[in-house]
Structure 1
Amino acid sequence: MACSVQALKHLGPIAFLRKMADSSPPRLQGCSSSISKSLSGSDTVDLAPVDKKSLNHESADLVDHEPPPLRWTRYIRNRSDCIPYDADAISTRRSVYDDPDLAALYWPKKGYENLHRFDPKARWTYREEQALLRKIDWKVMLWAAVSFSALNLDRNNLSQANTDNILGDLKLTTDDFNLGNTVFRLSFLCAELPSQLVSKRVGPDRWIPTQMVLWSIVTMAQFGLSGRSSFLVCRALLGFLQGGFIPDLILYLSYFYTKHELPFRLALFWISSNVCSIAASFIAFGVLHMRGTLGRAGWRWLFLVEGLITLVIGLATFFKMPPSPTQTKAWFRPNGWFTEREETIAVSRILRDDPSKGDMHNREGLTVKRLWTAVCDYDLWPLYIIGLMFGIPSSPPGTYLTLSLRRIGFSTFQTNLLTIPSTVAGVFTMFGITLLSETVDDRSYIAMAQDLWTLPFLIALYLLPALPNQWVYFGLASGLLSYPYTHPIQVGWCSRNSGAVASRTVNASLYNMFVQASSIVASQIYRADDAPQYRRGNRTLIIINCVNVLFMYPATKAYYIWRNRQRAKIWDTMSVEERQMYLTTTTDVGNRRLDFRFAH
């Protein structure tokens, strides 16, 4: 069956819909949401063979409400209150697939790798879903966290090397150190989109471990650094090879988790980074004692040891990262991770939560057109600006922490251990702020917490005398760096507001590019001619902090509220038939569709 629309292309969108509705077309038997392509070249909308009668089954047992938010108070006050439902009751939530007239419009494309396990008639209980989720957490999330820890082990070890006089050994100044950070971030930024294009074509399960192995080799090569040139070359190579890694991992996790589950997992994701930083401090404490072994500085052995650790993790990742929930079987894992029943639940619940995840195969590359469309998605630009601005106030104090502690009298080994308290505190503040965001279902105001936290500490650092008491400085710096890191909230926010696999891949990269650009800006705020107090730099950080709190976050929330109201004025006045015609014929995808609402 086909419905002609070529003659109506010249009409505006609303007039087009009304004209289509007036033409009283035959009832649709099905079509994919990803093949609404008639307005971009083809004269007809091809309809997939979906049996509408099979979807018109009893659905009274479906759950209509959204999943309850995570509330940590339940664990404190009454543990039995954590499960306020019958564990054997149906937990399948209602979706568009339970409406015979809409299901076909959201059907996964034929090439979707999990299509054979998708069953809109499938029902599962809370007990089954929670058991599956625990299995995914242990098998997928845990190793993703280990992989992410390997990234942070290698990209943050320069700070630990600073405590062992790497700058003096290589005859570098703090401005050279700033330049090295800038080169690293710029290379990291430039690699984001190319890395995503490669990852989408070959699959993140192949590209992520490949990246890890390559950058571990460069990390170990830093054992032989000889001066400024080799230092800058290694920083550039590390940045280029690590670029795109974080969006790749987030895209991979989205194959297994719903939009309500992902933000909390992303918090755990970044908590693993803090845990890694703590472990790295102890590793540095031990390895830096090797200074003088074979006539080499301790920081050289640090690069070699941490590079070897990453290499082992990278090689193991080739065997620990299956492509999708239905592709866990391999020659080294003949039974796979999931039963057929679990695969059906895993796939069906993901598509019920977000039908757009069935729009692309996990090894399907992005076309130039889809890439350009995602780049031009101005509704994500406010989040890019947030990515650029939010981390600047806290970045220079964190980057210079080890250098500053050494300057005011702490030894190499004291300095490495004194970085641990703020890292531990950051685990709890990040975990708490993410739970709070999901509990109150707010991102804009809650994500502001990071800048609200750092502001008073920046003012206190600005007012310190030229030679402060070393423990007073340590207390203020540690308090500042214990801030609730809101990056996981904002990554999930960007992913949710993208609304489609293709745009989600690109938008995550663009957001991360702006975060790296933020680090480039931040690396130039503390300058050698402003040392050691960095009064001018701290004054700049205070101004940026105030702009973030007073304008940036409130303006972003106001923008998304306005956009949602703008679309609701159109969508809410359309009849059922007009909505069906729109969904059938529109070329809008993801967050460009009239039925999409932005989270804020």
Structure 2
Amino acid sequence: MFSEKEFPVQGQPPQGSEKNVLPSNKPEEEVTPSGIPFQDNDDAVNQEGVVVSDEDSNASSTNIFSDPAVAAHYVSVYEKAHYECRHVFDPKLDWTKKEEKTVVRKLDWHVCTWACVMFFALQTDRGNLAQAIADNLLKDLHLTTNEYNVGNTIFLVSFLLAEVPSQLVSKKMGPDRWIPIQMVIWSVVAMSQCAITGKKSFFATRSLLGMLEGGFIPDIVLWLSYFYTARELPIRLSYFWTTLSATTIVTSLLAFAIFHLKGVGGWEAWRWLFLIEGLITLSVGLASFFMMPASAVQTKKWFRPKGWFTTREIGIVVNRILRDDPSKGDMHNRQPVTPRRLWHALKDYDMYPLYIIGLIAYIPQSPPNTYISLTLKSLGFSTFNTVLLQIPPNVFHIIALILLTRLSDYLKERTLVSMIQNVWILPCVIALAVWPDVIKNAWGTYAVVCVLLSYPYCHAILVAWTSKNANNVGNRSVSAAVSVQIGNVIANFIYRTDDAPLYRRGNRDLVIVNVLAIAFFLFAKAYYVLRNRYRDRKWDAMTEEEQNRYIHDSKDVGSKRLDFRFSH
């Protein structure tokens, strides 16, 4: 098994590169990705040698900007980029752990919580189709299973094609402006689904929703990265993606109530579902115009005259982010990604192991999740039971997701922990493929599907991992948009009408894809370990003078920098 060694970001020499350092018997100190030592003891000692409580100890003891030359270099970088927070950049600022905890709590309340609310709105409109078909939408619109697949494919392809353009618009306008605009427009389309009458209108609304919702998730991830460190981001993203399952639970209960409106106004219940849930999304979209500041220094508005933070807290928010990753200040938050930056990001082959994982790792669970309503209906469950039976796997999914992300943070390991997702899924898809006695039993089938859909979702880890390895705001914004949608398009063609209702062939294909996903996790681990060792050798072969010259003068950016080490 490989072990991960975290390295600081560009501007700070890699660990172990110092020249002429005398050996020491002191055990090597465990560090965070930013080089800050972990404190295992409850107390710390200040500069005067006085024992102070852990809460009052210095939270910024390791500061890459303590080197005046490094600080001067980044002052120049931030000024040249017109970085919006550059006026509060302070290489000498210190703060305590207690102060930092207070700041992070405020960020969690204002930033992370509202990100989850917005994701709730997205998933409400994106996921209610599965509930609508439980109310015989396909029969009412005279659609076949294959036409349902085509509609989902149109949505996914539109979503995929919109992601990079949406991300570029977001980078120019700012996610604080673009995301609320997206939400308001797509909520109108979502409500209009109550009026669809057949295949053409079904396909049209699927396409419009995909185009308008595409880019939302990478836009949100980029916005969150402005406020959280590399170590904090995966945990916050785990909360973000638990919203997906929480939304299914809430909307399942809501659908149970809405389905009792069947016949009111001469409408089918699924028409009321689209209308009411679209109105919910519209309200969240309108509120988002007031709830999303562009950055930590821009929280004061006419409707929020005091802002979120004190002057000192603003300094802590900004400087702790920059000390964790100085590259977060190399672009203004209204600065567009140029075609040249886009091209450089897309040809960054070091990011492709993560893109391949994103492509195939989520395929095995996608068809069972998409078809759960149709599967339960075909097994004889009523409309109301079909809706309610989707709640238990989502509850377990939330628990497993949070535990997986916490395990990754505890072990400081990304690849092997993320791989647990596909190790979990493998026996379930094998069961669906080869155990006919289970398949023929309604509750047995439900039990297998329930366990499968309770899988520990690794996407929060993967997104933060991709963001960290991009090591550049421009690359980060583009890499976030290279998402799992291509894999979802592929997954949409695995379950076919001629393979219904057991989908034996499709499930055998899922077994193969799942094994490939596990193999690519192992490949990514080996790739990044070897790439880091290669850079270690090149870096250690340089003199100290050459290293310093490279740090300050090199034109390499992002993950291409020789003094950058990939996380794995």
**TM superposition score normalised by structure 1:** 0.85
- Counterpart contact for 2:36–2:62, Cα < 8 Å: no
2:509 aligned partner, one-letter code: T
2:558 alignment counterpart: 590
Deviation string 1:130-166 (CA, Å, 9 cap, x unpaired) is: 0010011001110011001111111010000010000
Please, which of 348, 356, 369 is the counterpart of residue 385 of structure 1? Answer: 356
1:561 aligned partner, one-letter code: V
2:36 aligned partner, one-letter code: E
- Stretches of structure 2 that go unaligned for 5 or more consecutive residues are 1-9, 12-30, 43-51
Shift of residue 68 of structure 1? Answer: 4.4
- Stretches of structure 1 that go unaligned for 5 or more consecutive residues are 1-31, 34-61, 75-83
Shift of residue 432 of structure 1? Answer: 0.5
Please, which of 514, 535, 543 is the counterpart of residue 512 of structure 2? Answer: 543
Question: Could you say what the CA RMSD is over the residues aligned between the two structures, in angstroms?
Answer: 1.8
Please, which of 453, 469, 479 is the counterpart of residue 507 of structure 1? Answer: 479
1:485 alignment counterpart: 457
- Counterpart contact for 1:267–1:488, Cα < 8 Å: yes
1:293 alignment counterpart: 264
Deviation string 1:213-243 (CA, Å, 9 cap, x unpaired) is: 0110000000100100110010000000000
1:545 aligned partner, one-letter code: N
1:319 alignment counterpart: 290
1:519 aligns with 2:488: yes
2:313 alignment counterpart: 342
1:242 alignment counterpart: 213
Deviation string 1:70-89 (CA, Å, 9 cap, x unpaired) is: 9xxx9xxxxxxxxx961011
Shift of residue 67 of structure 1? Answer: 6.0
1:196 aligns with 2:164: no
1:473 aligned partner, one-letter code: T
Higher relative contact order (CA 8 A, sep 6+): 2
2:289 aligned partner, one-letter code: F
- Counterpart contact for 1:392–1:519, Cα < 8 Å: yes
CA–CA separation in structure 2 for the residues paired with 1:271 and 1:297:
31
- Counterpart contact for 1:102–1:580, Cα < 8 Å: no
2:511 aligned partner, one-letter code: I
1:537 aligned partner, one-letter code: G
Shift of residue 328 of structure 1? Answer: 0.3
CA–CA separation in structure 1 for the residues paired with 2:488 and 2:213:
15
CA–CA separation in structure 1 for the residues paired with 2:390 and 2:264:
25
1:561 aligns with 2:508: no
Shift of residue 105 of structure 1? Answer: 2.5
Please, which of 408, 412, 417 is the counterpart of residue 441 of structure 1? Answer: 412
Alignment of 1:346-495 (within 5 A): 346-465=317-436, 468-495=440-467
CA–CA separation in structure 2 for the residues paired with 1:500 and 1:546:
32
1:10 alignment counterpart: none
Shift of residue 361 of structure 1? Answer: 0.6
CA–CA separation in structure 2 for the residues paired with 1:93 and 1:350:
14
1:574 alignment counterpart: 542
CA–CA separation in structure 2 for the residues paired with 1:145 and 1:165:
30
CA–CA separation in structure 2 for the residues paired with 1:174 and 1:85:
63
2:120 aligned partner, one-letter code: S
Deviation string 1:334-359 (CA, Å, 9 cap, x unpaired) is: 11111100001111111011000110
Q: Could you say what secondary structure the match of 1:366 adopts?
A: coil
1:567 aligned partner, one-letter code: R
CA–CA separation in structure 2 for the residues paired with 1:592 and 1:104:
22
Shift of residue 69 of structure 1? Answer: 10
**Which of 590-599 and 108-117 deviates more?**
108-117
Shift of residue 577 of structure 1? Answer: 1.6
- Counterpart contact for 1:212–1:311, Cα < 8 Å: yes
CA–CA separation in structure 2 for the residues paired with 1:529 and 1:69:
60
1:142 aligns with 2:85: no
- Counterpart contact for 1:67–1:260, Cα < 8 Å: no
1:20 alignment counterpart: none
Cα gap change, 1:85/1:599 in structure 2, threshold over 3 Å: closer, same or farther? farther
CA–CA separation in structure 1 for the residues paired with 2:386 and 2:428:
20
**TM superposition score normalised by structure 2:** 0.90
CA–CA separation in structure 1 for the residues paired with 2:420 and 2:276:
37
- Counterpart contact for 1:96–1:106, Cα < 8 Å: no
**Which of 468-477 and 262-271 deviates more?**
468-477
2:275 alignment counterpart: 304
Shift of residue 548 of structure 1? Answer: 1.7
Shift of residue 330 of structure 1? Answer: 0.6
Q: Could you say what secondary structure the match of 1:163 adopts?
A: helix
- Counterpart contact for 2:159–2:213, Cα < 8 Å: yes
Shift of residue 473 of structure 1? Answer: 1.0
1:79 alignment counterpart: none
Q: Could you say what secondary structure the match of 1:365 adopts?
A: coil
- Percentage of pairs with the same residue: 51
1:571 aligned partner, one-letter code: W
1:251 aligns with 2:222: yes
- Counterpart contact for 2:37–2:62, Cα < 8 Å: no
Shift of residue 65 of structure 1? Answer: 5.6
Shift of residue 590 of structure 1? Answer: 0.9
CA–CA separation in structure 1 for the residues paired with 2:201 and 2:344:
39
Cα gap change, 1:581/1:68 in structure 2, threshold over 3 Å: closer, same or farther? closer
2:506 aligned partner, one-letter code: G
Shift of residue 368 of structure 1? Answer: 1.0
1:582 aligned partner, one-letter code: Y
CA–CA separation in structure 1 for the residues paired with 2:363 and 2:168:
28
CA–CA separation in structure 1 for the residues paired with 2:64 and 2:544:
13
- Counterpart contact for 2:551–2:563, Cα < 8 Å: no
CA–CA separation in structure 2 for the residues paired with 1:540 and 1:464:
15
Alignment of 1:38-117 (within 5 A): 66=36, 68=38, 86-107=54-75, 108-110=77-79, 111-117=82-88
Deviation string 1:473-517 (CA, Å, 9 cap, x unpaired) is: 11111011000001111001100100011100001111x1xx001
Q: Could you say what secondary structure the match of 1:349 adopts?
A: helix
